[in-house]
Structures are given as C-alpha cells and as structure tokens.
Amino acid sequence: MSMDPIFRALADPVRRRLLDRLFARNGQTLGELCEGEAMTRQAVTKHLAILEAANLVVSQKRGREKLHFINPVPINEIAERWIGKFEAPRLAALAQLKRKLEGDDHE
C-alpha cells in the first residue's frame, strides 16, 4: 500500500483542519464541515473526496445527509513506518523497555 495519497492529502491546510474538526467531533455531515471554511460546498466536497481516497476519512449516507468519520489507521502507519524511522532508536528502546517491564518478551 502506497503512502503517497496520504502524504498528498495531508499537504493541504484545509484538509488537515477538516481532520482536526472530525477528530474533535466525529460523524459530521458535509454541511457541518462546510461551516467555517471560506469556500463553496463543492470545494469542501473535493477535499473530503481526497481524504476519502487516502482512506483518512470514511463516509456513510444517512437519508439525504452524508456523515464523515475519521480513520486513524493511515496516520498510525505514517507514524510507525516513516516518521518512526527518524526516531527509531528512541522509540525502539522504549518499546523494548516496555515489553521487558511487562514480562512480555515474546520478541
């Protein structure tokens, strides 16, 4: 699985703010997410489509409304596979330490 769409989706401040708002309150409709953004509904729709394509947001229809839910999995993947690499020593040491302390050393 490529991480390119994830990084691309995170590159825009509008989309990061949308994720922030969904993190603050999950399951918001398109109309709710449009409030506060200084652009048309269609522009927000496109941003949400990009977030969905990156699997950062999942949507679901309820009647005439469309609910949006944040999906933390890709962000965790970035943290673990990419960003984690740059602080690998520190985090690896911590994780190993944690395992040792929990007596959970099944490697």
Binding footprint of a copy of itself on the chain (CB under 8 A): 4, 7-8, 10-11, 13, 16, 23, 70, 72, 75-76, 78-79, 82-87, 91, 94-95, 97-98, 101
Could you say which of DNA, a copy of itself, none residue 31 binds, taking C-beta under 5 to 8 angstroms by partner kind?
DNA
Number of Cβ within a 10 Å radius of residue 6: 20
Q: Answer for the pair 35, 23: CB distance below 8 angstroms, yes or no.
A: no
Could you say which of DNA, a copy of itself, none residue 42 binds, taking C-beta under 5 to 8 angstroms by partner kind?
DNA
Cβ 8 to DNA shortest distance, Å: 6
Residue the block writes with tokens 């401040």: 13
Number of Cβ within a 10 Å radius of residue 86: 9
Under the binding rule (CB under 7 A), the answer on residue 57 touching DNA is no
DSSP 23: H
Burial of 68 (0-12, 13-18, 19+ CB in 10 A): buried
Site residues (vs DNA, CB under 7 A): 8, 11-12, 14, 29-31, 34, 38-43, 45-47, 50, 62-66
